[in-house]
Every structure is written in structure tokens, then in C-alpha cells.
Amino acid sequence: MNMPDPQAMASAWMSQISDPNQWQSWFRMMPDMEAMPGAALLRDAGAAIRPDVLDTLKNEYIAEFGALWQEFLAGRAPKLKDRRFAAEAWTGNPVSAFNAASYLLNAKFLIAMADAVEATPHQKTRIRFAVQQLVDAMSPANFLATNPEAQQKLIESRGESLTKGLANMLEDMRKGHISLSDEKAFEVGRNLATTEGQVVYENALFQLIQYKPVTAKVKARPLLMVPPCINKFYILDLQPENSLVRYGVEQGNTVFMVSWRNPDTSLANISWDDYVSDGVIEAIRVTREITGQEQLNTLGFCVGGTLLASALAVLAARGEKPAAAVTLLTTFLDFTDTGVLSVFVDETQVSLREKALARGGLMSGRDLASTFSSLRPNDLVWNYVQSNYLKGNEPPPFDLLYWNSDSTNLPGPMFCWYLRNTYLENSLKEPGKLTVAGEKVDLSTIDAPVFVYSSREDHIVPWQSAYASTRILNPGRPERNRFVLGASGHIAGVINAPSKNKRSYWTNDTPGVAADEWLAGATEHPGSWWPQWASFLEQHAGEDVDARGDYGNEHYRPIEPAPGRYVKEKAE
């Protein structure tokens, strides 16, 4: 029997993928790709690579494929460094191992071709994103016919795994999202968001929760937390052992929390100004009235930090300085580098959103969740397709992933304003360029010490972008700004309780230096960054006073126990 020529096979494949017509045919086979950022550019990518670069890629591919083929003929299973193919079912079977290794080799050179396309940096980012989505989707691990782990379980279970997998898939289709966690294991108010407190104020946009002190003495100045309105607040109050809210209370703070309402059609016309005025500024006003304090410690997480900074700048323009200190967790103020999210933002896409939503409507929480999942498809999509559907497994309980699936809508006008003025035009950092709630916004007028936290592997807010806030706030007084860099990503880096003794963080007390210089001179510390933050809060929290045993005051009576009903509302 004549064996196929590996060089001829490799040459044929490389000729195929470098043919512009082949790119077009792939798109015809995968119509969903048409809506993907970078799709229009990707269709013509094969024609936008210099011939000499393409020849180099072809020769490298042919050489590597030939070596892989020789290993296969010799009966040696190739080494697979990708964790998707780490199981014995892959590595112990030469055919499956060769299949996986071939896929990885093909993926490597598809990505290399995307990087070789001659285009602007933003266009190249979008092309690479589209190629990566295609590459991840075509993994042999994602299909029963090419996944030996799933096939093995099918045989061992006598078909039961396939039956369960189909049931899991149908249930997820009913729910409208892939199950990342055992959703029956959690209930908000029962074993999530359980820190004791009362809702002491509400309007159409948010509820204000006041938490019960657990220490005999508390700091005079309260702590107001502003979570992201794109997610639910209980990411800061998951379970007792990893709750930032509970930790803040245990450190002797009287903690207040903004719980944003999950918008329905009655809030379809709410704007960014409304979130600032009727949301953050109103929460500040009520917290001050309840506690009798002129100033308070404030914390904003992600877009909650952007809203908080906007509100404090509006109040500064009115001659008010309610913040004794400001904490910003993984927050954008400077949107120069928005990381991989930039692939979803350009004039065309923003204009389309504005035409659809700027005059009213809802940005679906389901669509927002899908967008964020696409940033890490192997971790948040394909991993669960393989486990839940191909193998028939039930996802284990995981509080953070349960929260991740509990999506929220956004009012269209608010969402469109946010996209254009921050992600697209980066106007918020420019003093006086934007008018919010009737005031010219100048972030440099916020007169308060600032604690800025970011996560080193954050793919949503690159740490250098979060660090840029230290150049915008307190200009001329960099010693008032403290920056701490934690390990891990956007959420896991933030929710890192000291009791877990996990991960690490970096500090550098040299003020005003560039981001790379800051990191080069930083010191790494084991464990959680939370005690650093607690020390910062204590410096600005005022004197110790007796803890109060009641909630609210004569004007603001308790409405219902925490976590309140707003956080339990599901996205339509």
C-alpha cells in the first residue's frame, strides 16, 4: 500500500488555507461568523499577506507536519501540552494524539497567518480574534466523533452519558445559556448574599442596603460600595468565607451597598446621567443622612468605579466633597487600551447600537453574557460543551460561576452613551469634555486619597489601564494614590479572601512612575491584598464610635431584609 506523502499533504493544506476563496467558503459554511468582530476583514485575510511571509509560513508548516507524520508512522504519540488533550484517552491513543497534534499545528499556523496580515493594529486585533474563535470552535475535543474521552464514557456508561448529555443540552436551550455551575445548589439570600442587613432606601433604579455591624466599635465614617450595574452586587457578598462585604464589616466599617435593579421595559429610557444622579449621588446623599457623616469612604468595582468617579466629579463641580477616600477595583477611567474588548467597539458597531437603542430599549443581559464568554471561549463555552453535553456530566456547584450566569440587562440609552463616550471616544478622562448631570466632568477635581486595585491577568480591564487612573486622579499629588496589583483575573483576583491564603499581590510605594517602571520595582507578597485595602480604609475612616443596633433613621426605615428583592429579579 502506498503511504501518503506528508510534504504533499502539508503543501496542499497550506495552499488551501492561504487561498482567499477558501476563506470565503468557510464563511459560507459558518454563517454565524458573519456577525463576529473582524469577520469582514477576515474574509479577505488570505489576500493581505506578503508572498515572502506566506512562503516562510508554508515551509515551516511543511517541516513541522512532516516531523509529526514521521512520529505517527513510528508509532510514537506526540507530546500534547494543551490541557484540553491531557487525558490518557488522548495521549495513550496514537490516532487520537495525532489528531489533536494536527489540530494544534493547524491552529498555530492559522494564528500565525492572522498575525501576518498587513493591516492596522486594531484591524489585526479583530482579525486575530475572529481566527481564534474559529480555531477554538473547531477543536476535535468539541465533537463526539473526534473526542476519545467522550467515546470512552459512552461505551462505559452503555449510552447513558449521551442520554444525559442531550438532556443537559435541551435544558440549557430552555434556559438560554450554558450551565457553568449546578444552579440548583445556590439561592440568593439563602447561601449567597447572606451578610445580615436591611434595605433602608429604594427608588426605581436601586436599593440601598445597610449591613449590621459585628464589632462593638465601628469607624465613624461609613463605607459605600458601588458594584457594576452590568452584574449583580453579590459578587462582593458570595459566601461568608469569600465575602468582601463581610470582611469590610468585620474590620469595623458600617457598610452600605448599592443593589442595582435589573432593568425591564419600565427602565428602557434610563440614561448614564440617571445612573449618576438617581443612582450613585442619591446613594451618597442617603448614606450621609443616615449616618450623620459629611464624608464617607467609597468603593467602586468595574463600571461601578467609573460611575462613582463620574458622580464625585459632578459633586466636585457643585462644590461638594463627600468622599474621604476612594477605592477603585478593576476600573477604567482611561479607555486608551481596552484590551480584547476593543474588537467589539468601532464607529460602525456603536452607530448600529445607537440606532437600535439610543432612544429606548434594553441591551439584553443574555447578549452581554455571550460577549464576555466569547473572550474566553475554551474556559466558558467549549469546556462545558464537552463536559455537560458530550460526556453527560453535571456541572459542579461553583458560586462565582453561578453569579456569572445570573445576567442583567442594561437600559439602551445608558449603554449607548457608555460605549460612545468611553470605549469609542475616550472622553471621560478629558477635563471638561463631557457634561454629566448638568455639570462639566473633570476627574482631576476629585479631592480624596485613592486606592486603585487591578489584576495582572485581567482580560477585561488591562492592569496598565487601571494604573492609568493614578495619572488622572490627584494630578500633581501622586503620593495620595496607592496602586496594588493582584494575581489572577478580573473577578478571581478581586475575590481573594485572606482566609484562603491564595495567590499573591505586588506593591510599589514609588509615586508617579510609568506602569512598566512600577512593575519592575514592585515587591511581590503572598496571599490576599485585602489587608492592604483595610489599612488604607482605616486611615480615612475617622475615629472609633459605638456601633448602632438599629438601621436607617427616622426618615429611612427598614424596608426588607438584605439582600432585597431587586437582586433576585432575573433578566428578561
Q: Label residue 353 left, alpha or beta by phi (over 0 means left) and psi (-120 to 50 means alpha).
A: alpha
* pLDDT at residue 395 greater than cutoff 80: yes
Q: Do 462 and 319 fall into the same domain? A: yes
Radius of gyration of the chain (CA): 26
Q: Where in the sequence is the domain holding 453, given as residue range(s)? A: 197-343+414-564
Residue 33 has a pLDDT of 42
Q: Do 239 and 336 fall into the same domain? A: yes
Q: Do 105 and 205 fall into the same domain? A: no
Active-site hit among 39, 302, 329, 357: 302
Average pLDDT, the chain: 91
Q: Which of 145, 164, 182 is the last residue of a domain?
A: 145
Q: Which of 145, 164, 187 is the last residue of a domain?
A: 145
Q: Do 486 and 426 fall into the same domain? A: yes
> What is the rounded average pLDDT of the residues 63-86?
88
What's the total number of domains in the chain? Answer: 2
> What is the rounded average pLDDT of the residues 406-435?
97
Residue 278 burial (C-beta neighbours within 10 Å; 0-12, 13-18, 19+): middle
Residue 48 has a pLDDT of 73
Where does 318-468 have alpha helices with state H?
347-357, 365-374, 377, 383-384, 399-405, 412-418, 463-467
Residue 108 burial (C-beta neighbours within 10 Å; 0-12, 13-18, 19+): middle
Q: Do 427 and 285 fall into the same domain? A: yes
Task: Establish if 178 belongs to a structural domain.
Answer: no
CATH number of the domain residue 325 falls in: 3.40.50.1820
> What is the rounded average pLDDT of the residues 543-572?
95
Percent of the chain at pLDDT exceeding 70? 92
Residue 25 has a pLDDT of 47
Q: Report how far residue 523's alpha carbon sits from residue 543's, in angstroms, rounded to the nearest whole number.
A: 31
Task: Establish if 365 belongs to a structural domain.
Answer: no
Task: Establish if 398 belongs to a structural domain.
Answer: no
pLDDT in tens, 288-313: 999 999 999 999 999 999 999 999 99
Q: Do 323 and 450 fall into the same domain? A: yes
> What is the rounded average pLDDT of the residues 175-202?
95
pLDDT in tens, 140-184: 999 999 999 999 999 999 999 999 999 999 999 998 889 999 999
Secondary structure element (H or E) that encloses residue 57, with its range: helix 51-73
Percent of the chain at pLDDT exceeding 90? 75
Q: Report how far residue 46's alpha carbon sits from residue 554's, in angstroms, rounded to the nearest whole number.
A: 70
Listing DSSP states for 246-315 in one string gives HHHHHTT--EEEEEE----GGGTT--HHHIIIIIIIHHHHHHHHHHT-S-EEEEEETHHHHHHHHHHHHH
Q: Which of 83, 117, 145 is the last residue of a domain?
A: 145
Q: Do 422 and 500 fall into the same domain? A: yes
Q: Report how far residue 128's alpha carbon sits from residue 113's, in angstroms, rounded to the nearest whole number.
A: 9
Residue 466 burial (C-beta neighbours within 10 Å; 0-12, 13-18, 19+): buried
Distances in whole angstroms, Cα of residue 489 to Cα of each of 228, 462, 533 = 16, 9, 18
Q: Report how far residue 411's alpha carbon sits from residue 356's, in angstroms, rounded to the nearest whole number.
A: 12
Task: Establish if 156 belongs to a structural domain.
Answer: no
- What single DSSP character describes residue 521? T
Query: 34-43, 148-157, 196-205: which has the minimum mean pLDDT?
Result: 34-43
CB 383 within 8 A of CB 321: no
The pLDDT-based confidence of 541 (bands split at 50, 70, 90) is very high
Query: 22-36, 373-387, 456-470: which has the minimum mean pLDDT?
Result: 22-36
Q: Do 449 and 336 fall into the same domain? A: yes
> What is the rounded average pLDDT of the residues 321-345?
95
Task: Establish if 467 belongs to a structural domain.
Answer: yes
Q: Do 214 and 319 fall into the same domain? A: yes
* pLDDT at residue 13 greater than cutoff 60: no
* pLDDT at residue 468 greater than cutoff 90: yes
Q: Do 228 and 132 fall into the same domain? A: no
Q: Report how far residue 300's alpha carbon sits from residue 331's, in angstroms, rounded to the nearest whole number.
A: 8
* pLDDT at residue 536 greater than cutoff 80: yes
Task: Establish if 69 belongs to a structural domain.
Answer: yes
Residue 485 has a pLDDT of 98
Residue 37 has a pLDDT of 52
The pLDDT-based confidence of 32 (bands split at 50, 70, 90) is very low
* pLDDT at residue 200 greater than cutoff 90: yes
Q: Report how far residue 272's alpha carbon sits from residue 415's, in angstroms, rounded to the nearest whole number.
A: 8
The pLDDT-based confidence of 5 (bands split at 50, 70, 90) is low
* pLDDT at residue 12 greater than cutoff 90: no
* pLDDT at residue 393 greater than cutoff 60: yes
Q: Do 322 and 467 fall into the same domain? A: yes
The set of residues, in sequence order, having a beta carbon less than 8 Å from that of 438 and lying 6+ positions away, is none
Task: Establish if 351 belongs to a structural domain.
Answer: no
Strands 560-561 and 197-202: antiparallel
* pLDDT at residue 463 greater than cutoff 90: yes
The pLDDT-based confidence of 124 (bands split at 50, 70, 90) is confident
Task: Establish if 139 belongs to a structural domain.
Answer: yes
The residue type at 81: K
The packing angle between helices 51-73 and 94-116, to 10°, is 170
Helix (H, G, I), strand (E, B) or coil at 40: helix
- Annotated active-site residue 302? The verdict is yes
CB 89 within 8 A of CB 152: yes
What are the two backbone dihedrals, phi and then psi, of residue 482, each rounded to the nearest 5 degrees?
Answer: -120, 130
Q: Do 531 and 429 fall into the same domain? A: yes
* pLDDT at residue 31 greater than cutoff 80: no
